[in-house]
Amino acid sequence: MSSHGYPFDSIDATSQAAPTDRPHITPPRHPAYLALYDLPTTPELLLDQNDLIGGGYNFSNNLTAYTGAGYLGGAAVGVFAGLRRAIVEAERGESAKLRANRVLNNCGTVGRAYANRAGVIAMLFTATKTGVRACRSDADDWVNTAVAGVSTGALFRSPGGLRAAVVGGVVGGLLAGAAILAEKAPVFNKSTPNIFLQNTTTYRSS
């Protein structure tokens, strides 16, 4: 076998070691075939460092992250709420199989409902914040978060009428304000690592 370790070299060596009656055909050593085995040794970026280190804003990344986090968080809360409902609805004398079935049904139903609501809220918040940012000439500060919180709460509760929309807007504004204050708190800044400054490169072995 050749020192380069290409599969074609192994074919050549095998054909030389065990000759047959068929005519020997040398496989072509075209650069396109050799390029399949020439792996790069330089670092390759998984994400754009301008978006991570430079404070860049990417709508698709935020939409995916917020929606996924909201869906998983809502599902986790819903599972605990469903478990609590199953415990409350349990009757004395039930078999273990019936109780397990009740727990699974409640956790699945309530968890799915909570997850869907949280995912929709996250999508509305991301879209609203992006729209406010675009209207303000790409300004990125607490105003975007506050307006997005109020708008998200109002839009989410708007099917229930004007009063429900107003209550939802107030609740959304309060939650957005709490998030802004928590983000600016010294304790939060000291305890949270800056993940955007970490190395985001990965290496491929040669």
- Residues of the chain with pLDDT > 90: what percent? 36
- CA angle in degrees (0–180, nearest 5) for 6-36-49: 135
pLDDT of residue 168: 93
Q: Are residues 65 and 131 in the same domain?
A: yes
Q: Provide the number of structural domains found in the chain.
A: 3
Q: Are residues 37 and 85 in the same domain?
A: no
pLDDT of residue 204: 42
Q: Are residues 98 and 30 in the same domain?
A: no
Q: Are residues 27 and 74 in the same domain?
A: no
Rounded to whole angstroms, the Cα distance separating 86 from 78 reads: 12
49 inside domain: no
30-76 confidence digits (pLDDT tens):
666 666 666 667 666 655 555 554 455 578 888 888 899 999 999 99
Which residue bears the tokens 């139903």? 109
Domain that holds residue 182: 141-192
**Residue 22 CB partners (closer than 8 Å, separation 6+):** none
Q: Are residues 128 and 170 in the same domain?
A: no
Q: Are residues 149 and 186 in the same domain?
A: yes
87-145 confidence digits (pLDDT tens):
888 888 888 888 889 999 999 999 999 999 999 999 999 999 988 988 988 888 888 89
199 inside domain: no
**Is this model's pTM higher than 0.85 or not?**
no
Q: Are residues 39 and 64 in the same domain?
A: no
User: For residue 19, what pLDDT band results from cuts at 50, 70 and 90?
Assistant: low
Q: Are residues 126 and 70 in the same domain?
A: yes
Q: Are residues 101 and 118 in the same domain?
A: yes
Cβ contact 159:120 at 8 Å: no
**Core vs surface per residue 131-164: b (16+ CB within 10 A) or e:** ebbeeeeeeeeeebbbbbbbbbbbbbbeeeeeee
153 inside domain: yes
37 inside domain: yes
71 inside domain: yes
- CA angle in degrees (0–180, nearest 5) for 64-69-70: 100
52 inside domain: no
- Please give the residue that has the higher pLDDT: either 13 or 122: 122
Q: Are residues 112 and 127 in the same domain?
A: yes
DSSP element (H, E) containing 41: none
137-187 confidence digits (pLDDT tens):
888 888 889 999 999 999 999 999 999 999 999 999 999 998 888 877 665
- Provide DSSP, 130-173: HHHHHHTTT--SHHHHHHHHHHHHHHHHGGG-HHHHHHHHHHHH
